[in-house]
Amino acid sequence: MDRQFHYFLAVPIAKDQKSYLHNWVVQHKDQYPFKSWVHQDDYHITLAFLGAVASPQQLANLKNQVSHIAQSHSPFELSLSGIDVFGKKESPRILWAGINESSYLHSLQRQVFHTCIEVGFSLDKKPFNPHITLARRWKSEVPFQYTNELRHIFEADKQTFLADKIHLYKTHLDRIPKYEAVEIFSLKG
């Protein structure tokens, strides 16, 4: 089975917000020298990183269970918050756009996470911190300067989008964009 590919489940970002984030990246890329920038078509909010799939049956079981979860959840609104980082503040490993608190998103993630474990995936147990990765690996000798402006950087009218799907993505390390949606589950509850 696709052992060379890694899979993950995620909420896709709406087209307008992808464009908005991409425009921010284009305007600020030179100011923030990261080694790699995420292609705008790869923007998403990860619900569960699965890694390799053991068998076709494991993948089929997962698709079946996630389909049931999607049918029990209604679409809900999400909104972008500011920019932040993971890793050392002076040389972060990830630059990301945050998502404002959403009990709907947390509920969806919990169900997806537990289902993945039931189907046999070993998942990272870190607390869920919804975000959209924009860049990876700080590459400057000059320390990263985090400012309070980054916390509230997005215009209010550009922030909100409808979360109405879960995508099962397959990762292709040899191409850009890297992520291929191999299954789409519409929220219908």
Would you please indicate which residues are annotated as catalytic (active-site) residues? 44, 131
Closest-CA residue to 107 (of 163, 26, 28): 163
Q: How far is CA 95 from CA 25, 32, 33, 70, 171, in A?
A: 10, 9, 11, 29, 20
Exposed/middle/buried for residue 128 (C-beta within 10 Å: 0-12, 13-18, 19+): middle
Whether the ω angle into residue 177 lies within 30 degrees of 0, i.e. cis, is yes
In order, the DSSP letters of 135-153 are EEEE--SSPP---GGGGG-
Alpha carbon 176 to chain centroid, angstroms:
16
Which of 2, 3, 8, 1 is closest to 133 using CA atoms? 8
